[in-house]
A = this chain, B = another copy of it.
Amino acid sequence: MVELCLNSRYLLGYLVKEKLALPQPPIIWAFLFFSWKPVAEYIDQQFEQYFRDESGLNRKNIQDNRVHCCLYFISPFGHGLRPLDVEFMKALHQRVNIVPILAKADTLTPPEVDCKKRKIREEIEHFGIKIYQFPDCDSDEDEDFKLQDQALKESIPFAVIGSNTVVEARGRRVRGRLYPWGIVEVENPGHCDFVKLRTMLVRTHMQDLKDVTRETHYENYRAQCIQSMTRLVVKERNRKPNLTN
């Protein structure tokens, strides 16, 4: 399941409507909270459900509702990250794969987008936020693939634009925004990173996102659960002899 945590209402409509063009649309939740707590609770609930199902007798047909990805939308109007952004991402980065997004990128010219992206990347590093790390390319991959991979890594945070209409542009119908000075095309790679993000999410990196969730985030949750349960059992055991004495 791909989970969307939106802090920008601009893309909400578009993403929900489009369901990110996934072949089998995942359940999409849009969070417009000003606190990370409900989001963290939701992620934990899914882990808990999976943990219960996995510990039960019938382990064959478990429905996996664990959150494999959280798209975190950063406002293009600030000077980098706001304190809320830092708090939000730091509270979630041990629980879920965070992919940062630069929202409403049609307010910024290309040099401004580059500058803002650099600033956000620097701040992510400065504040020790662990966003989703794209896996390194195999050394035997061809050059084209390596370049593509490099470009993808350098696109972070992905600059996206939400459409509000379908318009005719260059002889075909495109999703976009119609300004007096031109048509913003959401799916034009020269206008924003929407296509890159979609390709990453549904084609090239979906499996890796699931793997990292399973091997890292869920294992962390499971280890904590087992630890608390063990502690509880030991406590219970220590109590019992006292009661029988």
Contacts and interface: CB of A to CB of B under 8 A. Distances in A.
Contact of A181 (B104, B107, B164, B191): B191
Interface string A165-197: 000000000000111111111001011000000
Given A180-B191, A191-B180, A107 B109 contact: no
Contacts of A104: 107
A181 B180 contact: no
Contacts of A164: 109
A33 interface: no
The number of times this chain is found in the oligomer is 2
A185 B179 CA distance: 12
Contacts of A109: 164, 177-179
Interface in A219-242: none
A181 B181 contact: yes
A182 B180 CA distance: 9
A114 to B, nearest CB: 13
Interface size class of chain A, counting residues whose CB lies under 8 Å from the partner chain: 10 to 19
A42 interface: no
Contacts of A180: 110, 188, 190-191
A51 interface: no
A157 to B, nearest CB: 18
Interface string A74-88: 000100000000000
A98 B191 CA distance: 38
Contacts of A191: 180-181
A106 B164 CA distance: 15
Nearest to A185: B181
A204 to B, nearest CB: 24
Contacts of A110: 179-180
Contact of A182 (B77, B107, B181, B190): B181
Interface of A: 77, 104, 106-107, 109-110, 164, 177-185, 188, 190-191
20 contacts: A77-B77, A104-B107, A106-B107, A106-B179, A106-B181, A107-B107, A109-B164, A109-B177, A109-B179, A110-B179, A110-B180, A179-B184, A180-B188, A180-B191, A181-B181, A181-B182, A181-B183, A181-B185, A181-B191, A182-B183
The 3 closest A-B pairs by CB, nearest first: A182-B182, A181-B182, A107-B107
